[in-house]
Chain A
Amino acid sequence: MCGKSNPAELENCQYCQARLKPLANKSGSILPDWLDNLRTKKDQEPASPPPPPEPEVPDWLSRVRERSQEDKDSEAFSQITLPDWLVEDEETPPPADQATPEPAETGIAPEATPAWLSEFTSAEPVEEPKPVDQESDIPDWLKKFSEFGELLPAEQGVDAPPPAVSESSPFTETSLPSDLPVIPNNNLEQPPADQAAEVTELPDWMLGLAPASPPTPGQPSEAPAVSLVEPSAEDEPLASPLSTDLPVSLENNAPEWLKDFQAAGAGQPQTALPFAGEALPPAEINADLPDWLGKLSAPPSAEPAVSPAPEEPAPQEGESLIPAEIPGWVKAMRPIETIVPVPKVDHRIEERGPLAGLKDILPAESGALEIAPPPSFAFRLHTTDQQRGRQALLESLLASEAEPKPREKPAPRLDNQILRWVIAALILLAVIVPVVANVSILPAAEAYPGQAAQALAAIDSLTQNVPVLVSVDYEPGLAGEMEAAAAGVMNDLMARGARLTIVSTSPTGSALAVRLIEKAAGNKPEPFHTPYLNGERVANLGYLPGSASALLGFAQAPQAAAPFTVTGQYAWSLPVLQGIHSLSDFGLVLVITENPDTGRGWVEQVHPALGDRPLILVSSAQAAPVLLPYLDSGQIDGMVTGVTGGAVFEKYSSRPGLGQAYAGGYQAALAVAVCVILVGAIVEAITLFVKSSKAKKEA
């Protein structure tokens, strides 16, 4: 199929995989097995004359004869006028020179041949049929055939007008444009010359069926012989079914009616099949013609190219022929098209394009070219009720996670509420009574005496008008304790005429420093308090942002770290900071803080820059345990802790202040707290003891 050369030993093409060697049977012959077997049997049989075949008349012929005898009296039969050639042929005996072909030429075993075929090959002459009465013995189909012969264009002549065309003809559409070329039907495949030569090698009986000579140009070509098998040298060429040339063997033993038919058509040119060559007039098919003849005369467009005859043509009304049973071997010879259902052909007429009006053509515009929006599919998830229920449950769980859980407030217990009120009342009473009565229930505590003494000693070492750096780094919430602790120290510094420089690492430190000075001055300020109250001897440097980093920067370059005061003045030109260039120029550094980290930062960052200058811490009772090691290590020179420390310092400095004022209530409240804790611990211990005893007794 691809046309490429392949080695001889290959059975399939190595390029296109087409079969190179034809399929052969066991004996290697290309003929079907049944035909090959017949041939072999024929070869194996001795050359003896075959037994005479049984004279067997086909059923259809016998039925025809019977009916013809029955219709002798029919008027329709008497009215039929037969042509001369048909009448003469009936009277003409068959030529005697026509001998029956020998069975050896046919190559078919006598036992396997059907009756009608064996009739052609037998040596004995076939029983001549009875002469047919001109009017009564001629079958209807034959009459119709004779009438049909009158309709052939060859008989009518070249100038005969073409008959009317049926509507079903595709080539007779009136809407066809006139400029379309007329495609003659004589372009059918012509058997090649080698096949024509092979045709001459076929048996005699088959030769008569094939055209005598290959068609010549200009002449209407004949339809190719439809050969179901490849013709062999021994087979006679197949002839067209309507060919009037009978094979030699058939001519010798043909019945008279067939011979008459042959004689009538002898003078006629070999015409091709009705569906070959020029377009045959397809329209008016005589209704009296048999079906098989009518189909042969039908236009070729109505049927496929190789349209097989139906296996059992439906007998029409008035048809005398009875459909015969086709033998199996004939069925085997049927073309594949008879087995495979022929696809129905869409005989639609094209309506658009240049081929409008034509039938049986490929559609010019296929449906695939039609641009249409894609179909929209409803995407719907099919879920069951159970799945939907689970979905709702999951959604509710997820929604509940985002919602805050309702906080259930426990019902307040009355005993706890009462106990709470009682304790609060006791503490308030313990605080109010000393403040109102201005008495001290308990003697003043001597807590942290060494610490306060060291602080006082450090302050006492200062001279007059010494610059003191004060860091106010406590929160407003603890201002009560811190003011009580630092008021005495501030009061003592103010009494010594120190130049106070206020700085803070807290935004609220500058405001608390002013309040501290006012608290230190008390309700009845002394004259030495006046310069501090009006800010003459106070330089408030404000807020130092950055915590430990700010302290380090301030310790290294105080003028760059805090150049201005809270009022916007350049601080280092003020009289308060006159002669101060570094922290070592200060006489004392006082850090007032309740935060242990702040105190630690001052100790870690600033103390190295102070040199031998004292550093005093005023801390709350809460931060004292954390900052006390620095006092023990000598990194700070004094420490005043809480209200008690302030009271002790005020006692040592002999300047009463807030510390001593708050000490009474402070000690009373502490006493009440200690008593409540002790009572509660005792009660709890007794309760546990009782419970354990009961548990042991029960156990």
Chain B
Amino acid sequence: MPLANLIWTALSFIFTLLVLSYVFLGDNPLFRVATYIFVGVAAGYTFLVSFNQVIWPRLIFPLINASASPLEKALLGAPLLLGLLLLTKLFPRLASLGNISMAYLVGVGAAVAIGGAVLGTLFPQGSAAVNAFDLHASQGRSPSLVLIEAVVLLVGTAATLMYFYFGARSLTPGQQPQRPQVVDTTAQIGKYFIAITFGSLFAGVYIASISALVERVYFLWNTLF
């Protein structure tokens, strides 16, 4: 095994043990050392990748490169200026100058997100929800099962949305405002769907952790033996 690989392997082994010490020892200095080093290494690696793969080859090098056309250099003026203005956010007195760059980023991001959500999620998903009741497109599956799934899907979607409806009114003067009975009943059903969803999300987190544990144990075993 090459020396570099040996070193990296040894460090990985040590840090794995340090992190696993939290299981039996709780929040201890060994665990904190491992987490602090991880945070620092991740931040440094992120900066290096950003500078080496984005800033230098796409901004600085074209500006200083003599072979680059003046038009390319002129077009790079806008991102350079916006980047410098964004750096003013570090200084409270000059923070207002960075609002221009932030406005551009937020505006472009919001536009992209809204367009993608509408065209990529809202319409296709709505169409899919309607097509769920298409028994002819079951693709070999039992139509009843498809229908049940569709109904469950519809009820669950409606009930979940109804749970988040908080509009209330008083039917008679002096009565405490409350939701309509139909809405309240549907919201109770939606509450169970939401609970099941939260359970699945928790299970997913646990599964991811178990997967990481399995991978680390497999690594330790392979490293030792």
Name which of B42, B132, B217, B221 has the most chain A CB atoms within 10 A of its CB: B217
Cβ–Cβ < 8 Å partners of A564 in chain B:
53, 57
List B residues 95-116 near A (Cβ within 8 Å). 108-109, 112-113, 116
Bound Cα distance A568, B61 (Å): 11
A620 at the interface (CB under 8 A from B): yes
Give the interface centre of B42, B108, B210 by most chain A CB atoms within 10 Å.
B210
Q: Check if A604 sits within 8 Å of B117, measured CB to CB.
A: yes
Given A421-B24, A545-B50, A548-B109: A665 in contact with B207 (beta carbons within 8 A)? no
Residues from chain B with a CB closer than 8 A to the CB of A642 are 207-208, 211
Q: Tell me the smallest distance from the CB of B62 to a CB of chain A, in Å.
A: 11
Please report the C-alpha to C-alpha distance between residue A634 and residue B139 in the assembled complex, in whole angstroms: 13
Contact of A633 with B201 at beta-carbon distance under 8 Å, contacts A478-B208, A594-B208 already known: no
Determine whether the beta carbon of A508 is less than 8 Å from that of B45.
yes
CB contact under 8 A between A621 and B207, given known A507-B50, A661-B218: yes
Smallest beta-carbon distance B176→chain A, Å:
30
> How many CB-defined contacts (below 8 Å) exist between A and B?
151
Contact status B211-A666, CB under 8 Å: yes
CB distance from B79 to the nearest CB of A (A): 11
CA of A622 to CA of B205, assembled, Å: 6
A138 close to chain B: CB less than 8 A: no
Closest Cβ neighbor of A480 among chain B residues: B215
**A548 pairs with B120, CB closer than 8 A:** no
For chain A, residues 374 to 407, give those with C-beta under 8 angstroms from any C-beta of chain B. Answer: none
CB contacts (< 8 Å) of A604 on chain B: these are 116-117, 119-121
User: Are B120 and A608 interface neighbours, CB within 8 A?
Assistant: yes
Q: Which residue of A lies closest to B22 (CB)?
A: A424
A208 to chain B, nearest CB (A): 102
Instruction: Check if A629 is an interface residue, CB within 8 A of chain B.
Output: yes
Is A543 in contact with chain B by the CB < 8 A criterion?
Answer: yes
Say yes or no: is A514 at the interface (Cβ < 8 Å to chain B).
Answer: no
Q: Which residues of A contact B215 (CB under 8 A)?
A: 479-481, 483-484, 662
Residue B29 interfacial (CB < 8 Å): no
B207 touches A622 (CB 8 A): yes
Decide yes or no whether A462 CB sits under 8 A from chain B: no
- Option from B49, B108, B204, B218 in Cβ contact (under 8 Å) with A620: B204
B145 at the interface (CB under 8 A from A): no
* Nearest-neighbor residue (CB-CB) of B211 within chain A: A481
Interface centre among B108, B109, B112, B203, by most chain A C-beta atoms within 10 angstroms, is B112
| Residue picked from B45, B125, B207, B215, most chain A C-beta under 10 Å | B215
**Interface residue A623 (Cβ < 8 Å from any Cβ of B):** yes
Interfacial chain B residues near A633, Cβ < 8 Å:
124-125, 127-128
Would you list which residues of chain B between 193 and 218 have a CB under 8 Å from chain A?
Answer: 197, 200-201, 203-208, 210-218
Shortest Cβ distance from residue A507 to the other chain B in the assembled complex, whole angstroms = 4
Bound Cα distance from A523 to B127, whole angstroms: 46
Q: A634 touching B128 by the CB < 8 A rule?
A: yes
Q: Is A336 an interface residue (CB 8 A)?
A: no
Number of interface residues of B (CB under 8 A): 45
Selected from A543, A594, A601, A629, the residue in CB contact (under 8 A) with B128 is A629
A508, A548, A568, A661: which has the most chain B beta carbons within 10 Å? A548
Candidates B46, B121, B204, B222; contact of A622 at CB < 8 Å: B204
Cα distance A549–B116 in the bound complex, in angstroms? 10
| A481, B217: Cβ atoms closer than 8 Å | no
Q: Is B161 an interface residue (CB 8 A)?
A: no
Contacting residues, chain A, for B217 (C-beta < 8 A): 428, 431-432, 435, 665
**Which residues 18-53 in B have Cβ within 8 Å of A in the complex?**
23-24, 42, 45-46, 49-50, 53
**Is the beta-carbon distance between A507 and B204 smaller than 8 angstroms?**
no
Is there contact, CB below 8 Å, between B204 and A623? yes
Contact among A431, A436, A511, A543 for B214, CB-based, below 8 A: A431
A508 to B45, alpha carbons, bound, how many Å?
A: 8
Q: Which residues of A541-555 are within 8 A (CB) of B?
A: 542-543, 545, 547-549, 552
Chain B nearest CB, measured from A432 CB (Å): 6
- Residues on B with C-beta less than 8 A from A548 are 109, 112-113, 116
Q: Is the CB of B108 within 8 A of A624?
A: no
Any chain B CB within 8 A of the CB of A625?
yes
Contact with A along B166-208 (1 / 0, CB 8 A): 0000000000000000000000000000000100110111111
Distance from B33 Cβ to chain A, minimum over Cβ atoms (Å): 17
Give per-residue flags for B114-144: 1 if the beta carbon is below 8 A from chain A beta carbons, else 0.
0011011100110110001000000000000
Contact check, B121 vs A600: say whether CB atoms are below 8 A apart: yes
Contacts of A543 in B (CB 8 A): 49-50, 53-54
Inter-chain CA distance A424–B24, complex, in Å, is 8
CB <8 Å contact, B211 and A643? yes
Q: How far is the CB of B75 from chain A (nearest CB, A)?
A: 11
Query: What is the bound-complex CA distance between A511 and B218, given in angstroms?
Result: 21
- Decide: B119 and A629 in contact? CB cutoff 8 A: no
A453 to B8, CA, bound (A): 37
Distance in angstroms between the alpha carbons of A219 and B116 in the assembled complex: 126
Q: Does A477 contact B (CB under 8 A)?
A: yes
Contacting pair A508 B46 (CB below 8 A): yes
- Tell me, rounded to whole Å, the shortest Cβ–Cβ distance linking A660 to chain B: 12
Residue from the list B108, B127, B214 in contact with A549, Cβ < 8 A? B108
Q: Which residue of A has the minimal Cβ distance to B118?
A: A604
Nearest B residue to A601 via CB reads B116
Contact with B along A207-234 (1 / 0, CB 8 A): 0000000000000000000000000000
A436 to B222 CA separation, bound complex (whole angstroms):
9
Q: Are B112 and A552 in contact (CB under 8 A)?
A: yes
Determine the chain A residues whose CB is within 8 A of the CB of B117 once the complex forms: 604
Q: B127 — which chain A residues lie within 8 A by C-beta?
A: 633
Q: How far is the CA of A431 from the CA of B217 in the complex (A)?
A: 7
Pick the residue among B23, B49, B108, B128 that contacts A510 (CB under 8 A). Answer: B49
A566 to B57, CA, bound (A): 10
Closest Cβ of chain B: how far from A354's Cβ, in Å? 64
- Please measure, in the bound complex, the distance between the C-alpha atom of A568 and the C-alpha atom of B53, giving whole angstroms: 8
Residue among B53, B207, B222 making CB contact with A481, cutoff 8 Å: B207
Given A548-B113, A665-B217, does the pair A607, B197 have CB atoms closer than 8 Å? no
What residue of chain A has the Cβ atom nearest to residue B132's Cβ? A632
Instruction: Check: A270 CB closer than 8 A to any chain B CB.
Output: no
Asked whether, in the complex, the Cβ of A481 is within 8 Å of the Cβ of B212, the reply is yes
Contacts of A424 in B (CB 8 A): 23-24
Contacts of A432 in B (CB 8 A): 217, 221
Q: CB of A296 within 8 A of chain B?
A: no
Residues 515-554 (chain A) with a chain B CB within 8 angstroms: 523, 542-543, 545, 547-549, 552
Q: A633-B127, A633-B128 are in contact. Are A621 and B119 (CB under 8 A)?
A: no
Does chain B have a CB within 8 A of A13? Answer: no
Q: How far is the CA of A542 from the CA of B53 in the complex (A)?
A: 7
Q: How far is the CB of A434 from chain B (nearest CB, A)?
A: 9
10 new A-B contacts, CB < 8 A, other than A427-B210, A568-B57, A629-B128, are A479-B212, A484-B211, A507-B46, A620-B208, A620-B211, A622-B207, A642-B211, A662-B218, A673-B206, A673-B210
- A and B contact pairs by CB, cutoff 8 A, 20 listed: A421-B24, A432-B221, A435-B218, A478-B208, A478-B211, A479-B212, A480-B212, A511-B45, A545-B50, A548-B109, A548-B113, A548-B116, A563-B58, A600-B120, A621-B211, A633-B128, A662-B211, A662-B214, A666-B210, A666-B214
A residues contacting B by CB (< 8 A) are 421, 424, 427-428, 431-432, 435-436, 476-481, 483-484, 507-508, 510-511, 523, 542-543, 545, 547-549, 552, 563-564, 566, 568, 594, 600-601, 603-605, 607-608, 620-625, 629-630, 632-635, 642-643, 661-662, 665-666, 669-670, 673
Identify the 7 closest CB pairs spanning chains A and B, nearest first: A480-B215, A604-B120, A622-B204, A604-B116, A481-B211, A633-B128, A507-B49
